[in-house]
Amino acid sequence: MQLYNIKHPEEKVSFKQAVLQGLGKDQGLFFPSEIPSFSPEQIQELLALPFQERAAKVLGAFIGDEFSPEQVQELVNNAFNFPVPVVEVEPGVYTLELFHGPTLAFKDFGGRFMSQVLRLLAQERKITILTATSGDTGAAVAHAFYQVPNIEVIVLYPKGRISELQEKLFCTLGDNIKTIAINGDFDACQALVKQAFDDEHLREVIGLNSANSINISRLLAQITYYFEAYARVPQNKEVVISVPSGNFGNLTAGLLAKALGLPVAKYIAATNANDTVPRYLASGKWEPHQTQATLSNAMDVSRPNNWPRIEELFRVKNWKFEQDLFSAPVSDAQTAQTIVALDGLGYVSEPHGAVAYRVLKDYLKDEQVGIFLGTAHPAKFKGEVENILGREIALPEQLAKYKDRPLLSENFDADYATLKEFLLSHTAAAKAHK
Ligand SMILES: *Cc1c(COP(=O)(O)O)cnc(C)c1O
């Protein structure tokens, strides 16, 4: 698959190069030069397949020129080795539960697929992965790469702005996983990562790679479960899918599924109070506000880094925002009410899924079926959910075992020079380079 840099279309790379490089010149995002598409008959055949087999076919349409069908199937089988259930929460409304992987969040899909691809590519030289997380990416990336040879992971996260349990899940691993709590918000962490990628010297010395939602391998991985969602609901009605959105990687993947031919009638981008996109769609003006801390903290992003890909996709497909996308924000008060309402239906949710459900419910018409993406297990937001529901919820074993381990994080100000010094003196790749 060939990809181009959206900011500099003359910069073209292969899929493998794009995975290694993360970003193009001037922090431009890579975008496929050609988006494959399936005929309606082929879509029906795909929908009839089991998840892993279908996923390999969908991904093969993109990367089949760089990996054999057997390799693609192996990448898929290793990466997606957990269930992806669809649950009906009330008549006509379903949730796709994306939180049954090792870190109980949907970012396991992207993180694990990317680690499988990089495992194949890291045989040549040491790789350092630098990523910023608002909570779940970091955990997914850390677990996906834990003890993978020749790869080291540095995760930056906003100090005090992720849940204690989230922090425990990825800041207690050690070994090839290093974590840094930054005195600042997620956007400050993201800005540091971007600065590091702009630093050509550093990039070369430490074999820098990013694993956040800008990496194309993560996006491709996420396309696969939209097919699963669609396959598991009644298809005699229009299907609407609501995506709880922060950096908009998940929604980009959903829209790519549609571009491949999956007949989703409408996508909903549900946000919290960080509502840059719904305001943009209403006014045509891109005016990010200061990032606000909310209950759905993995979506506390006011400058969503995947948005340029969505613009690009709408441009090349000639789609119209008014027609193909609906977007609305949900306040914390509404989020809490919605968690209570879902509990009343017998479904224990968490803030991110609740945001998606809420906008879906307000939008959905009788003649449609709705799917909202469940992006995290409620136990990952145990404190918040227990406060709202007024009762305890169980902690699954995957989380319980990290609870009492000591945090191993460093703590830095949001200062690039400090970070650079650390990367040049503490990473295995830098040491090997000397
Ligand atoms: C990352 C995350 C989101 C937002 O996904 P994007 O791809 O960044 O839009 C939503 N919910 C949870 C639980 C997340 O971790």
pLDDT per residue as tens, the chain (434 positions) = 999 999 999 999 999 999 988 888 888 999 999 999 999 999 999 999 999 999 999 999 999 999 999 999 999 999 999 999 999 999 999 999 999 998 898 999 999 999 999 988 887 788 999 999 887 778 888 999 998 889 999 999 999 998 888 899 999 999 999 999 999 999 999 999 989 988 999 998 998 887 766 899 999 999 999 999 999 999 899 999 999 999 999 999 999 999 999 999 999 999 999 999 999 999 999 999 999 999 999 899 999 999 999 999 999 999 999 999 999 999 999 999 999 999 999 999 999 999 999 999 999 999 999 999 999 999 989 889 999 999 999 888 877 889 899 999 999 999 999 999 999 998 888 888 76
Q: Residue 264's closest CA among 255, 276, 253? A: 255
Q: What are the domain boundaries of the chain?
A: 83-102+219-389, 126-206+404-430
Buried b (16+ CB within 10 A) or exposed e, 345-362: eebbbbbbbbbbbbbbbe
- What residue owns the CA closest to ligand 1's atom 8? 247
Distance of CA 18 from the midpoint of ligand 1 (Å)? 22
> How many CB atoms are closer than 10 A to CB 194?
17
CATH 3.40.50.1100 applies to domain 83-102+219-389: yes
Distance of CA 298 from the midpoint of ligand 1 (Å)? 5
- What residue owns the CA closest to ligand 1's atom 14? 298
**pTM for this predicted structure:** 0.89
> How many CB atoms are closer than 10 A to CB 323?
8
Do 83-102+219-389 and 126-206+404-430 have matching folds?
A: yes
Distance of CA 176 from the midpoint of ligand 1 (Å)? 25
- What residue owns the CA closest to ligand 1's atom 15? 136
Is 208 in contact with 332 (CB distance < 8 Å)?
A: no
Q: Residue 93's closest CA among 330, 364, 359? A: 364
Distance of CA 245 from the midpoint of ligand 1 (Å)? 6
Rounded Cα–Cα distance for residues 386 and 419 (Å): 37
**Which H helix or E strand runs over 145?**
helix 136-145
Q: Residue 307's closest CA among 336, 344, 348, 276? A: 276
The predicted structure's pLDDT at residue 122 = 81
The predicted structure's pLDDT at residue 276 = 98
**Residue 338: what residue type?**
T
Distance of CA 244 from the midpoint of ligand 1 (Å)? 7
Mutate which of 299, 306, 307, 384 to test ligand 1's pocket (most atoms within 8 Å of Cβ)?
299
Q: Where are the beta strands (DSSP E) in 173-262?
A: 177-183, 208-209, 238-244
Mutate which of 131, 136, 242, 355 to test ligand 1's pocket (most atoms within 8 Å of Cβ)?
136
At residue 354, the 3 state secondary structure works out as helix
> Residue 158 pairs with which residues in a beta bridge?
182
The CA-based diameter of the chain, rounded to the nearest angstrom, is 65
Q: Where are the beta strands (DSSP E) in 185-252?
A: 208-209, 238-244
Mutate which of 247, 275, 309 to test ligand 1's pocket (most atoms within 8 Å of Cβ)?
247
The predicted structure's pLDDT at residue 164 = 84
Torsion over CA: 417, 418, 421, 426 (sign)? negative
What CATH number was assigned to the domain covering residues 126-206+404-430?
Answer: 3.40.50.1100
The predicted structure's pLDDT at residue 41 = 98
> Residue 243 pairs with which residues in a beta bridge?
269
Distance of CA 84 from the midpoint of ligand 1 (Å)? 17
**Residue 362: what residue type?**
D
Distance of CA 375 from the midpoint of ligand 1 (Å)? 7
> Residue 420 pairs with which residues in a beta bridge?
none
> Residue 267 pairs with which residues in a beta bridge?
241, 325
Rounded Cα–Cα distance for residues 371 and 256 (Å): 17
- Tell me which residues have their CB closer than 6 angstroms to ligand 1: 105, 107, 135-136, 213, 244-250, 298-299, 352, 375-376
